[in-house]
Amino acid sequence: MRVINDIKPGCDYLKDESQLIGNADKIYFCHNTNEIEEVLSNCYKNNTPITIQGALTGICGGAVPLNGVVINLSEMNNILGMNYNTELEKYIIKVQSGLLLKDLNHFLKSKKIDISNFDEESIKGYNKFIKDSSFMFPTDPTETLASIGGMVACDASGACSYKYGSIRKYIQGLTLVTPTMKLNIERGKYKYSDLEHILKLDGSSLPKWQAQNQDIKDVAGLYYDDNMDLIDLIIGGEGIFGVITEIELILIEEPKVQAGVMLFLNEENELAKFVDKLRNNESKLFNSGIAAIEYFDSNSLKLLNRFREVNQALKKLPIIQDEFYGSLYLEFHLDSSDELDELLMDILEDMNEYGINEKHQWLGIESSDFEKLKLFRHAVPECVNILIASNKQIDSRLNKLGTDMSVPNDQLLNTLLMYQKDIEELDVSSVIFGHIGDNHLHVNLLPNTYRKLVDSKKVIINWANYITSCGGSVTAEHGIGKLKKELLKLMLKEEDINSMRKIKGIIEPKGLLNQGTLLD
Ligand SMILES: Cc1cc2nc3c(=O)[nH]c(=O)nc-3n(C[C@H](O)[C@H](O)[C@H](O)COP(=O)(O)OP(=O)(O)OC[C@H]3O[C@@H](n4cnc5c(N)ncnc54)[C@H](O)[C@@H]3O)c2cc1C
C-alpha cells in the first residue's frame, strides 16, 4: 500500500466538493481488502480515528477527515469478475469499491477488459456478456468521477432515478470490513436481526428506528424497516460502520432508444402543473418511458452562458436566449423510435398551454446531440461548485449552501414559490436546478459576504422546518455528511437518532470510524 505521512495544508485529500477543509496525519492508499483489514485493526489498537474516502465528490463533507488517518480507496479500482445470475436473470459485476463510475461505464460500453485475473466463473460470465446485447448500470449521479463505494455509502441517485430509483436496488452483495470483522453480505443472506448471532450479542435486542420515508426520495439517516436485509443498513450508511471494499452490482439491459429534449419556459408558465401532467399520465409509455424530468431555473441558464466563455466543453452548447425563464430536460428510455415519436407527440402537443416555448427546443435524438444535453445537465452543478470555490477565495468561511430537500407531489408548487419568495427577500445570488420529477430541487445560495451567509443559513433552516412539517426530507440523495446534521435533528426524533447511535456503537464500539459524519 502507498502511504502519505507528510500532509501539507491545502492537500487535495483534506477536502471534498463541499470545500470543507479538514486535517489528517496520514493517508493510506490501500490496494485490497487485506490491507484495509490490517490498517483498521492497527488503528483500532491505537485508538486512532479513521476517515474513509472514495473519490471525494461528495458535497456534505462526509469524507473530509477531522483528525487521525484517512483510508483512501482511489487505488482500489479493479473490476474483479462477473457472472450471469440465472435466478435473477441478470449479469452481476464484482468491483473494488474505489472504481470510478466513468470507468465502469466505459467497460460496459466497450466490453473490453483484461481477464487474466478472472476466475473460471467470471470468464464464463464475461464470454456470455460479450456476445449478448448491451447492458448498463442505471445509477447516474451525473458526477461520473464518483466511486462506486462512495455511491453505495451515500445511496446515490441522479437524474434517471425518476425511472430507476436509487442505487440500493442494484446492489446484490458487498464486503464490509469493520475494525473487528470482515463480512461478505449477499442480498437475501442475512436479515438485520441476524446481527445478534453474527456479533454474538447476549440477548440485547437490536434497536429500531423510524427514518427514511419510502413514499418520497429520501436518504436522511440510516435505512430501517422491520424485516430488512442487513445489506440495506450498510447502503446509505455513509461509511460509519466500516469500509465497503468490494461490491456486486446488478446490470440491466440498455434501452434500445435513449434520447432527450430540452424545453424552455416562457415568463408565464405552469411548470408544476406540466410536471404533474407528465407523471399523472398512466399510459405505459409515460410510466416507463420517461427516465428523467429535470429543471433548471433562469439563473442556471445565465450561468451556463457565462461559463461557456471560459470552458471549451460548454462551447459545444448553443447560446441560450436571455428571454427564457428556465428549462425542463426530459430523458427517454424506450424500446423503439416509434415509441419515442409517439411519446414526444403526446408531450409536446399542448405544451404552450403550460407556458412551455413552442418554437425553441433542443432535441437530442442523435447520440452527439444527446451527449450535449447530458453535458448541459452535468455542467450546471459543476459551474455552481466552481463559483463557490471562487467565493471561498474571497472569504474562507463561505462554504457551499446547497439544499437537497424533497417533498411529496402535492407540495411541489408551494415549495417552489417559497424558495422564490425567500430568495428575493434574502437578496443573494442563487441557482435552482434538479430532479423536479421527484420534487427534489437543489437550491444553491451563493452569498458573497459572511453576513449574507449567516442569513442564508437561517433561511435554509426555515425551509427544512417547512419541508419536514409537510412530510418531506432534508436530504434526498447527498446524505448528511458533516454539514447537515443540524437538519437531520429537525427532521427525526431524538429517540430515532439515539437508536442509530446505538446500532453504530454495537457494530463499531470505539466510535473511531468516520467521526463527525452523519451522527455526533
Ligand atoms: C457536480 C456534482 C453533481 C452531483 N450529482 C449528484 C447526483 O445527481 N446524485 C447524487 O446522489 N449525488 C450527486 N453528487 C454527489 C456525489 O457525487 C455522490 O454523493 C457520490 O456518491 C459520492 O461518491 P464519492 O466516491 O466521491 O464519495 P466521497 O465523497 O469520497 O465519500 C462520500 C461518503 O461515502 C463514504 N465512503 C466513500 N467510499 C466508501 C467506502 N468504500 N466504504 C464506506 N464508506 C465510503 C465517505 O466516508 C463519505 O461519508 C454530485 C456531486 C457533484 C460534484
Question: Smallest Cα–Cα separation from 491: which of 224, 214, 210?
Answer: 210
Considering only CA atoms, give the Rg of the chain. Answer: 23
Find out whether 166 and 219 touch, Cβ atoms under 8 Å. Answer: yes
Which residues have C-beta within 8 Å of that of residue 229, sequence separation ≥ 6?
A: 187, 188, 190, 191, 192
Alpha helices in 193-322 (DSSP H): 195-198, 230-234, 271-280, 284-289, 298-307
Supply the angle between the helices 271-280 and 412-426 in degrees, to the nearest 10.
150
Over 90: is that where the pLDDT of 336 sits?
yes
3-state secondary structure string, 398-415? CCCEECEEECCHHHHHHH
The confidence band for 481, taking pLDDT boundaries of 50, 70 and 90, is: very high
φ, ψ for residue 439, nearest 5 deg: 55, 40
Beta bridge partners of 362: 262
The confidence band for 391, taking pLDDT boundaries of 50, 70 and 90, is: confident
Which residues have C-beta within 8 Å of that of residue 358, sequence separation ≥ 6?
A: 351, 352
d(CA 124, CA 221): 40
The ligand 1 atom nearest the CA atom of 54: 30
| Ligand 1 centroid to residue 199 C-alpha, Å | 29
Higher pLDDT, 400 or 1: 1
Q: What percent of the chain has pLDDT over 70?
A: 100
Find out whether 137 and 90 touch, Cβ atoms under 8 Å. Answer: no
What's the number of domains the chain is made of? 1
Over 90: is that where the pLDDT of 18 sits?
no
**Angle at CA of residue 265, ends 262 and 271, nearest 5°:** 100
Residue 300 lies in a domain: no
pLDDT value, residue 312: 80
Q: What is the mean pLDDT of the chain?
A: 94
Beta bridge partners of 118: none
The confidence band for 212, taking pLDDT boundaries of 50, 70 and 90, is: confident
Helix, strand, coil % over all residues of the chain, rounded to 5: 40, 20, 40
Residue 301 lies in a domain: no
Beta bridge partners of 327: 264, 296
| Mean local confidence (pLDDT), 145-152 | 98
Higher pLDDT, 225 or 320: 225
Which residues have C-beta within 8 Å of that of residue 208, sequence separation ≥ 6?
A: 224, 226, 499
Over 90: is that where the pLDDT of 158 sits?
no
pLDDT tens digits, one per residue of 311-325:
887 888 888 888 899
Question: Smallest Cα–Cα separation from 312: which of 233, 362, 251, 375?
Answer: 375
The CATH number given to whatever domain includes residue 201 is 3.30.465.10
Residue 341 lies in a domain: no
Residue 421 lies in a domain: no
User: Which domain covers residue 233, as residue numbers?
Assistant: 85-253
| Ligand 1 centroid to residue 56 C-alpha, Å | 7
E strands in 191-334: 243-250, 252-253, 257-265, 290-297, 326-334
How do strand 290-297 and strand 356-364 relate by DSSP bridges? unpaired
d(CA 64, CA 303): 28
Residue 452 lies in a domain: no
Residue 144 lies in a domain: yes
Identify the residues whose C-beta falls under 6 Å from ligand 1: 16-17, 52-59, 62-63, 73, 97, 141-143, 146-147, 149-151, 153-154, 156-158, 238-239, 243-244, 381-382, 385, 477-478, 514, 517
Residue 469 lies in a domain: no
The ligand 1 atom nearest the CA atom of 239: 44
pLDDT value, residue 172: 98
| Ligand 1 centroid to residue 146 C-alpha, Å | 6
E strands in 376-506: 401-402, 405-406, 429-435, 440-446
So what's the ipTM on this one?
0.99
| Mean local confidence (pLDDT), 9-17 | 92
d(CA 68, CA 48): 6
Residue 408 lies in a domain: no
φ, ψ for residue 130, nearest 5 deg: -70, -25
How do strand 257-265 and strand 440-446 relate by DSSP bridges? unpaired
| Mean local confidence (pLDDT), 163-173 | 97
pLDDT value, residue 214: 83
pLDDT tens digits, one per residue of 119-148:
999 999 999 999 999 999 999 988 999 999
pLDDT value, residue 382: 84
The ligand 1 atom nearest the CA atom of 59: 15
What residue type is 455 in one-letter code?
A: D
